[in-house]
Amino acid sequence: MMDVLWNLGAFLLALGILIAAHEFGHFWVARRCGVYIERFSIGFGKALWRKVGKDGTEYTLAMIPLGGYVKMLDGRVDEVPEHRQHLAFNNKTLWQRSAIVAAGPVANFIFAIAAYWIVYLIGVPAVRPVIGEVVPQSIAAEAGIRSGMELKSISGIKTADWESANMAMISHIGDKEMVITVTEPDAEYEVQRTLDLTGWSFDPESERVLATLGITPYSPPITLSISQLVDDGAAIAAGLRLNDKIVAIDNTPIVKWEEVVEAVRSKPDQSMLVEVEREGENVTLSLTPAVKKLANGDMIGYAGFAPKVEAWPESYQINLQFGPLEAVSKAVEKTWQLTTLTFDMVGKLVTGDIAIKNLSGPISIAKGAGMTADYGIVYFLGFLALISVNLGIVNLLPLPVLDGGHLLFFAIEAITRRPVSERVQDIGYRVGSAILVALMAVALFNDFTRL
């Protein structure tokens, strides 16, 4: 229950910040263009808080925090006295109206840059994208990718860490090839490798992009010593202790931790003999793993312990931290990468290269908000930047109910030299609303199937 409340609180905070940024973009440009603002509202419905400023604008925080709006003086909506006609939105020039509408999505991109700027000022701990293992006969192996290589760029996009590498790889869904620049193990020079993607199958919902290419990132060795025990778990009940080193299971010698995992998972609610080395002596214990039900209905064993992992080598650790000026360029670069990736994903969603089941809705966003907030301010800001870019792009889609739809009408007006008729606009709003509601319904359905 506490997790749900935490996720909900983080979601509402994130949503409030992003809505405020978007609507402030409309508000600020409208003011600069001489439009009178009647109300600036975060949320819909009944007002929880309101204040009328010296400028006459009513600032409102409303009950339903799923959006916001800037109500401008507009002769198409209300009667406007003659002496105030020059303050109405509909009487402004085409470029002014276009600027006001476009300012919301633009504000989202600016917010993302600002968020990443703060992130890079504080610094983000990361690890270099060094390849650990390559699956034989995989796409990566066929391209000549080998263990120990470090990814430097993917199709021209720099990959300082695994997050950047994953994003760049995902953008190639539906493409025929991927060009990767790597350094050879223990060498300074760079070489290029071309991955043939014609037979690549990748489902973002259930698979990791690296695994589908046959790549496993380097990670420090996992030992056979126990470093964590879950309270009241099966491991504690069996008598296992911290620092015990697992030697054998059911009289079969154990060489690596994956063998322990496989043995435990394969015996839910079944007794097994675990031999451990403890303070120089071997001790044999009887362990009965608890039963854990997976999302697909399968039952697996769960013991409630974790191994000790050796520390990362210092040479593999990096801190993405920059000075004020360099952080600006890095923030712009990161935002641009996110923007191009998102546009690519929208395009591939339309062409069918990405299944519609991969759409995420508010529940998935809430989980992401809660998880990143739990990790700290740097990760939460990165999450806000990601969602802000997505919000900006979604609002630029040419659906009449969105900012992009208004811009489409303005573009038609610029070409035909006359406004789009109210009848055509009304039909467009109805169709756009229906498409948007359908997409939201699909996203919500996908969210519930993931619960």
Catalytic residues: 23
- Enter the tokens of residue 332: 């712009």
Radius of gyration of the chain (CA): 27
**Torsion, CA 248, CA 252, CA 253, CA 258, rounded to 10:** -80
The set of residues, in sequence order, having a beta carbon less than 8 Å from that of 418 and lying 6+ positions away, is: none
- Enter the tokens of residue 418: 């006359």
CA distance 65 to 11: 10
CA distance 10 to 16: 10
CA distance 334 to 116: 8
The set of residues, in sequence order, having a beta carbon less than 8 Å from that of 336 and lying 6+ positions away, is: none
Strands (E), 256-352: 272-278, 281-287, 290-293, 299-302, 305-309, 317-320
Query: Which ranges of 177-243 would DSSP assign to H, the alpha helix?
Result: 209-213, 234-238
Nearest in space to 103 (alpha carbons), one of 364, 407, 322, 433: 407
Structural element, H or E, at residue 447: helix 422-450
- Whether residue 292 contacts residue 234, with contact meaning beta carbons closer than 8 Å, is answered with no
Residue 300: strand pairing partners: 292
- Whether residue 227 contacts residue 240, with contact meaning beta carbons closer than 8 Å, is answered with no
CA distance 149 to 170: 20
CA count, 13 A, side-chain hemisphere, 93 = 5
